[in-house]
């Protein structure tokens, strides 16, 4: 028998707030987290802007050993997971921790450590490379460190599908619970790729905006968009079997009811023409949820602010929803957060959950110049107080990875 899957905990550290409440307040106020890069000297770089986590002091969260041995993306993952777990109320007293899984993803992993230790190798030789180099930099350590931190002994792994990673994490967690393999899963993503090689690499492949105006750099669906703004942070949600949550008296935020995924099998960076792969993922998610296209109230789009993504995602939504596409509200919150890469999907799932709870559709901020290629209702600049029953979160990743999850207002 398939089980219902509900959300019982939320955690976040983002460029517009270092807790879920701060983050959501920033979304509702239309706050933009894009600003000048402080992580390194950008004198020789064409890109000067990013969306960094503000006022982040590792020592506020970790002891000396943790600060030294945890790469930044793992730190972010642990911080968000702690908040989500505390929020959920799951403890070893009320839950069998052998049946609590962890699926925390990252698109890139420990670039900071890779850069630093490569420099040590070149300048000081192989004997000086840190023995912590590998366990700090490999991408599975977001999940591994969270599992160790929280004592979750169920299935633990990370999906690596570029910017679709954490939506895949949520979808796979949903399936593990739905089919009875786990009672709860700590799911999400973390990223810390604002480094010299990260910024240089994305810049040279023409993916990043080179705008000097922080308010006109990450502008999804705007005709003047010129690339995405790289961001960092983490988002984590606790998914749980409904009966398990009910039996322990947990508060329930929302229900995950659908998941769809697909591959473009087309190109390493460009979406398939017309966004046909993304459309298949959306249709699969709706079929899994058992809903019609008319039931969908809101889509949090991948909406990266690149020309190809926004145009092809618009086409994908039209293909998936047909004649109701123009009736569904579609916004991108990357104008607020920048593009958090492997953490984006988890953060945007939190946006959908909070939107349902508050009956508030967040706007696409920074929108000025309409684009005939992106002619959906993108909720420009001003949020709307509207009741939402079904919301969809889309994520698309380099390599042709597409994933969509459908979140429903919780009803007994």
113: closest CA among 139, 131, 133? 133
Chain centroid offset of residue 10 CA: 13
Q: What are the CA-CA distances from residue 269 to residues 124, 221, 290, 398 (Å)?
A: 36, 19, 32, 5
Going along the chain from its start, the domains and CATH numbers come out as 5-247 (3.40.47.10), 258-409 (3.40.47.10)
User: What is residue 1's predicted lDDT score, i.e. its pLDDT?
Assistant: 76
Q: Could you tell me the pLDDT band of residue 221, with boundaries at 50, 70 and 90?
A: very high
Q: Could you tell me the pLDDT band of residue 296, with boundaries at 50, 70 and 90?
A: very high
Check pLDDT > 80 for residue 159.
Answer: yes
- Do residues 393 and 352 lie in contact, with contact meaning Cβ atoms separated by under 8 Å? yes
- Average pLDDT of the chain is 97
pLDDT in tens, 60-118: 999 999 999 999 999 999 999 999 999 999 999 999 999 999 999 999 999 999 999 99
Among 163, 168, 374, 401, the active-site one is 163
User: What is residue 143's predicted lDDT score, i.e. its pLDDT?
Assistant: 98
Among 32, 168, 244, 302, the active-site one is 302
User: What is residue 77's predicted lDDT score, i.e. its pLDDT?
Assistant: 98
Return the CA Rg of the chain: 20
Across 297-313, average pLDDT: 97
Q: Could you tell me the pLDDT band of residue 274, with boundaries at 50, 70 and 90?
A: confident
Collapsed DSSP state (helix, strand, coil) of residue 59: helix
Query: Is 168 one of the catalytic residues?
Result: no
Query: Is 302 one of the catalytic residues?
Result: yes
Across 136-161, average pLDDT: 97
pLDDT in tens, 26-72: 999 999 999 999 999 999 999 999 999 999 999 999 999 999 999 99
Tokens for 266? Answer: 């087309």
Of 153-162, 270-279, 287-296, 359-368, which range is least confident?
Answer: 270-279
Tokens for 205? Answer: 């492949």
Q: Whole-prediction pTM value?
A: 0.97
Check pLDDT > 90 for residue 220.
Answer: yes
Contacts of 177 by beta carbon, 8 Å cutoff, 6+ apart: 3, 5, 183, 184, 185, 239, 240, 241
Q: Kindly report the number of other CB atoms within 10 A of residue 14's CB atom.
A: 32
Query: Is 307 one of the catalytic residues?
Result: no
- Do residues 105 and 41 lie in contact, with contact meaning Cβ atoms separated by under 8 Å? no
Among 32, 168, 244, 339, the active-site one is 339
């Amino acid at each position: 028998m398939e089980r219902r899957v509900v959300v019982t905990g939320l955690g976040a550290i983002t460029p517009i707030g270092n807790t879920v409440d701060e983050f959501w307040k920033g979304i509702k106020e239309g706050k933009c987290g894009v600003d000048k890069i402080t992580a390194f000297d950008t004198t020789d770089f064409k890109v000067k802007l990013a969306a960094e986590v503000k006022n982040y002091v590792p020592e506020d969260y970790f002891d000396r050993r943790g600060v030294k041995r945890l790469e930044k993306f793992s730190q972010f993952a642990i911080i968000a997971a702690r908040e989500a777990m505390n929020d959920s109320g799951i403890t070893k007293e009320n839950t069998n921790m052998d049946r609590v899984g962890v699926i925390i993803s990252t698109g890139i992993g420990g670039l900071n450590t890779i850069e630093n230790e490569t420099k040590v190798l070149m300048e000081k030789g192989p004997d000086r490379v840190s023995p912590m180099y590998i366990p700090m930099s490999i991408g599975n350590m977001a999940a591994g460190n969270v599992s160790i931190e929280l004592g979750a002994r169920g299935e633990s792994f990370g999906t690596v599908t570029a910017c679709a990673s954490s939506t895949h994490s949520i979808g796979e967690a949903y399936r593990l619970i739905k089919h009875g393999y786990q009672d709860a899963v700590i799911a999400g993503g973390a990223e810390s790729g604002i480094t010299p090689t990260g910024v240089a690499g994305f810049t040279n492949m023409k993916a990043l905006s080179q705008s000097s105006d922080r308010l006109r750099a990450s502008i999804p669906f705007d005709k003047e968009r010129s690339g995405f703004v790289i961001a960092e942070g983490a988002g984590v949600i606790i998914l749980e079997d409904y009966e398990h949550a009910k039996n322990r008296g947990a508060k329930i935020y929302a229900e995950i009811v659908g998941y769809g995924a697909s591959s473009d099998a087309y190109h390493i960076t460009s979406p398939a023409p017309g966004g046909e792969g993304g459309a298949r993922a959306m249709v699969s998610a709706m079929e899994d949820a058992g809903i019609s296209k008319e039931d969908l109230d809101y889509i949090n789009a991948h909406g990266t602010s690149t020309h190809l993504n926004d145009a092809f995602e618009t086409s994908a939504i039209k293909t998936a929803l047909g004649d109701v596409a123009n009736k569904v509200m579609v916004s991108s919150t990357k104008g607020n957060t920048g593009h958090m890469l492997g953490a984006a999907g988890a953060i945007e799932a939190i946006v959908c959950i909070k939107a349902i709870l508050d009956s508030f559709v967040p706007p696409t901020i920074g929108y000025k110049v309409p684009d005939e290629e992106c002619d959906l209702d993108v909720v420009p600049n001003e949020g709307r107080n509207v009741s939402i029953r079904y919301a969809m979160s889309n994520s698309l990743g380099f390599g042709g990875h597409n994933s969509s999850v459908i979140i429903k207002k919780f009803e007994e």
